Amino acid sequence: MTPSAPEHPLRVAVVCLGNICRSPMADVVLEQKLADAGLSDAVVVDSGGTGDWHRGEPMDPRAAAILTEHGYDPSRHRARQVTGDWFDDHDLILTMDESNFDDVRALARTPQDRSKVQMFRSFDPVSTPGDDEVPDPWYGGPEGFEHVLRLIERTSDAIVANAPELVTELAR
Ligand code: 4NP
């Protein structure tokens, strides 16, 4: 039996702690790569943070600068906090590190909610169980942001390559 067409695009959220560095970078990069692949109507992306300190703020200037340097547009981002009702509006919630993973799973109300949460780098072709995080660059220098962008671009390429299967499996 062929699966019926989904009623809506695959709705993906990327999540970190503050929603001003890692997850907004992943949001912008993944969205751009989906657009470049002609998949903007099939997969929609947004982002949030588990903490509330930066709600309403634009991206960290260091994150915005590295994105601009690499040809992405960071200007539209405003930080938001993840709440339990995000499970109603998303098919897949991708977390940057293990503590984000635990914090988002703690917001889940049902086993089905919990099953929507995965590590972002679970899609990275070279991740391993001991190396599956996008590390927090907040306290470090610009090289940390370079490293984060490399991880995000590689993982986003893999998500785009898997997008047709993900839409079929997860969008309802
Ligand atoms: P993010 O980075 O989780 O990648 O957005 C951080 C941003 C802010 C803070 C920590 C991490 N903070 O402690 O305010």
User: Distances from the Cα of 169 to the Cαs of 68, 73, 163, in angstroms?
Assistant: 34, 30, 10
The full set of domain ranges for the chain reads 10-171
CB atoms within 10 A of CB 91: 21
Q: Which CATH number is associated with domain 10-171?
A: 3.40.50.2300
Tens-digit pLDDT profile for residues 129-141: 999 999 999 999 9
Q: Is 132 a catalytic residue?
A: no
**DSSP state letter for 18:** S
Instruction: Flag whether pLDDT at 10 surpasses 60.
Output: yes
Catalytic entry in 11, 16, 27, 97:
16
- pLDDT of 7: 79
- pLDDT of 1: 46
Ligand 1 atom nearest residue 100's Cα? 3
Q: Is 55 a catalytic residue?
A: no
- pLDDT of 4: 64
Q: Is 16 a catalytic residue?
A: yes
User: Distances from the Cα of 137 to the Cαs of 14, 96, 113, 162, in angstroms?
Assistant: 16, 11, 29, 27
Residue in the structure block whose two tokens are 């790569």: 33
Instruction: Flag whether pLDDT at 48 surpasses 90.
Output: yes
User: Which amino acids bring their CB within 6 angstroms of ligand 1?
Assistant: 16-22, 49, 53, 136, 138
- pLDDT of 172: 76
Q: How far apart are the CA of 138 and the centre of ligand 1, in A?
A: 6
- In sign, the C-alpha dihedral spanning 107, 113, 115, 119 is negative
Burial of 100 (0-12, 13-18, 19+ CB in 10 A): buried
For residue 168, the SS3 value is: helix
* 33, 43 Cβ separation under 8 angstroms: no
Q: How far apart are the CA of 79 and the centre of ligand 1, in A?
A: 11
Length of the chain: 172
